[in-house]
């Protein structure tokens, strides 16, 4: 098994947190790290005790859901709530932060922002981060790395392809399906 880097490890945490999101428009997760230790995590969702988008739909104003608190803000607020300093910490997030989150990230003293996916990257946010001396790094993340059922899926695909061979399906069709399985799972099929 390949050992993942620290950046990939913390990005994986963000993607796991995003699975807790209650937003139906975009699931986002964020992790705050200091000295290679996670100090907080957050995902986008409603405030504690309020209705969730997954239950009642998004509350959209000016093309933005106002029901949710963004993942980055939830992580920063968790630090605030429990008295955990964020000065010189790193923030990992599944998607590039919006402008309001960027301002909060800077004000909280975050020194490095790592994000997996470009998402409406605001040029003013980038300018503010640069002026504040916050390092921004794109860390591509392959979500298949946290697919805990990938081996079971591979076994199922191999069984299905073998049964198709035995049933006389054209070799070209099977080769095409094998290629698709390899692309989906990111693993070479072993015959």
Q: Which two tokens stand for residue 135?
A: 């390092």
Give me the phi and psi of 113, to 5 degrees please. -120, 125
- In this structure, the number of other CB atoms found within 10 A of the CB of residue 166 comes to 8
Alpha carbon separation from 123 to 26, 102, 141 (Å, rounded): 21, 11, 23
Catalytic residue among 2, 51, 72, 163: 72
H or E element in which residue 19 lies:
none
H or E element in which residue 39 lies:
strand 37-43
- To the query of whether residue 172 is one of the catalytic residues in this protein, the response is no
Q: Which positions are annotated as active-site residues?
A: 72
């Amino acid at each position: 098994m390949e050992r993942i880097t620290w950046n990939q490890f913390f990005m994986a945490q963000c993607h796991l947190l995003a699975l807790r999101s209650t937003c139906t428009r975009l699931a986002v997760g964020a992790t705050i790290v200091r000295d290679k230790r996670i100090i907080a995590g957050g995902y986008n969702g409603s405030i504690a005790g309020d209705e969730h988008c997954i239950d009642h739909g998004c509350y959209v104003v000016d093309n933005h859901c106002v029901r949710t608190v963004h993942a980055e803000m939830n992580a920063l607020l968790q630090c605030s709530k429990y008295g955990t300093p964020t000065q010189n910490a790193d923030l990992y997030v599944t998607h590039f932060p919006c402008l309001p989150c960027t301002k909060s990230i800077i004000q909280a003293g975050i020194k490095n922002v790592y994000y997996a996916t470009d998402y409406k990257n605001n040029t003013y946010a980038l300018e503010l981060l640069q002026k504040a001396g916050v390092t921004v790094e794109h860390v591509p993340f392959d979500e298949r790395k946290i697919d805990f059922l990938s081996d079971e899926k591979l076994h199922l695909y191999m069984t299905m392809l073998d049964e198709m061979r035995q049933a006389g399906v054209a070799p070209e069709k099977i080769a095409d399906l094998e290629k698709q399985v390899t692309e989906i799972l990111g693993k070479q099929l072993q015959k």
